[in-house]
Amino acid sequence: MSFFDLIRRRRSVRTFAECPLKPDDARQILEYSASVHNPYAIPIVWKLLDAKEYGLNSPVILGSDLYIAGKMSRVPHAEEAFGYAFEMIVLFAESLGVGTTWIAGTMNRSAFEKVLELSEGEVMPCVSPLGYPAKKMSLRESMMRKGIKADSRFRFEDLFFAGSFETPLSEAAAGNLRDALEAVRLAPSAVNKQPWRILVDQDSVHFYKYCNRGFISDAGWDIQKIDMGIALCHFELVASESGVAVSHVIKTDAPPAPEGMQYIASYSTKSNA
């Protein structure tokens, strides 16, 4: 199955069949995690955590006793790097039929951090349960999805722009970037805020964060930059899959953005000229 197919198929899972993850699936996920890269080359340590053994829990999860978590140094671009790498793992799990959901706040965080043995200057941005989706969602999960409109997304033209932020980009005009941009449109995000805005400008694709309030912690950790890492991951995977060679770059002369938007990164498409 292609990455694009996995992205279109996957949904967040919060209700799991009450059966343990097969040892082979757990092994494959952990081995794959160790091989995952990110555009910023920031190391991330991944662990599988037994919820019953360590007293871990999330009030929004039913039926799963296994979590995956990652820790990393708190350095520039750590959020984007984590979002990119964790989404790679999430998509790999989906390819095995293993359900996941991103959890940043609804968990006993201190217990997770204790098990991961965080050192000074390290962070554990998010965790995810691992398990096989139940045949039917719980009422709690159904209500959560309805509350955040989990199955809806902004229109293509609301997120992507051509040349300037005054010119929406249509699917028809997106050309060979259409699937990669659609993969970004379908990406998961915290409370489904979909903070990505993308400007396609000649041989560059620029990513910006539309800054919503309430997503930066007192310590300065930006949850929506993790969302941007997911968007970068989807774009790069599907662009490459579509035959578009792209390279990640941080530009010092990126086009200016409207108020309330922050530049994140770009992809160069010069090699396709």
Mark whether 92 and 168 lie in a shared domain.
no
Mark whether 234 and 196 lie in a shared domain.
yes
> Is the model's pLDDT at 38 over the cut of 50?
yes
d(C-alpha 210, C-alpha 215), whole Å: 11
- Residue 149, domain member (yes or no): no
Backbone angles phi, psi at 157, to 5 degrees: -70, -15
Mark whether 178 and 134 lie in a shared domain.
no
Whether residue 29 contacts residue 74, with contact meaning beta carbons closer than 8 Å, is answered with: no
Average pLDDT, the chain: 93
Domain of 123, in residue numbers: 3-139
Query: Residue 18: how many CA atoms within 13 Å on its side-chain side?
Result: 3
Query: Using one digit for the tens of pLDDT, what is the confidence trace for 149-200?
Result: 777 899 999 999 999 999 999 999 999 999 999 999 999 999 999 999 999 9
3-state secondary structure of 220: coil
Mark whether 179 and 261 lie in a shared domain.
yes
DSSP secondary structure letter of residue 9: H
State the pLDDT at residue 158: 97
Q: How many domains, in total, are found in the chain? A: 2
Among candidate residues 114, 139, 164, the one where a domain is terminated: 139
State the pLDDT at residue 273: 40
Burial profile 201-222: b = 16 or more Cβ within 10 angstroms, e = fewer: eeebbbbbbbebeebeeeeebb
- Residue 216, domain member (yes or no): yes
Which is higher by pLDDT, 143 or 86? 86
The token pair at 249 is 């770059």
**Is the sign of the CA dihedral 78, 192, 101, 198 positive or negative?**
negative
> Is the model's pLDDT at 140 over the cut of 90?
no
User: What does the pLDDT average to over 190-214?
Assistant: 93
Which region among 23-32, 91-100, 117-126, 141-150 has the lowest average model confidence (pLDDT)? 141-150
State the pLDDT at residue 272: 43
State the pLDDT at residue 138: 82
State the pLDDT at residue 17: 95
Output the pTM of the full model: 0.95
Query: Cβ contacts of residue 166 below 8 Å, gap of 6+?
Result: none
> Helical H runs in 77-201?
78-95, 109-116, 139-147, 156-159, 178-185
Mark whether 12 and 120 lie in a shared domain.
yes
CATH number of the domain residue 128 falls in:
3.40.109.10
Mark whether 189 and 125 lie in a shared domain.
no
- Residue 147, domain member (yes or no): no
Q: How confident is the model at residue 219 (pLDDT cuts 50, 70, 90)?
A: low
Mark whether 129 and 180 lie in a shared domain.
no
Mark whether 132 and 14 lie in a shared domain.
yes
State the pLDDT at residue 217: 67
- Residue 106, domain member (yes or no): yes
Report long-range pairs for 95-99 (Cβ below 8 Å, ≥24 apart): 95/1, 95/6, 96/25, 96/28, 96/29, 97/132, 98/21, 98/25, 98/29, 98/130, 98/131, 98/132, 99/13, 99/16, 99/129, 99/130, 99/131, 99/132, 99/133
Mark whether 111 and 206 lie in a shared domain.
no
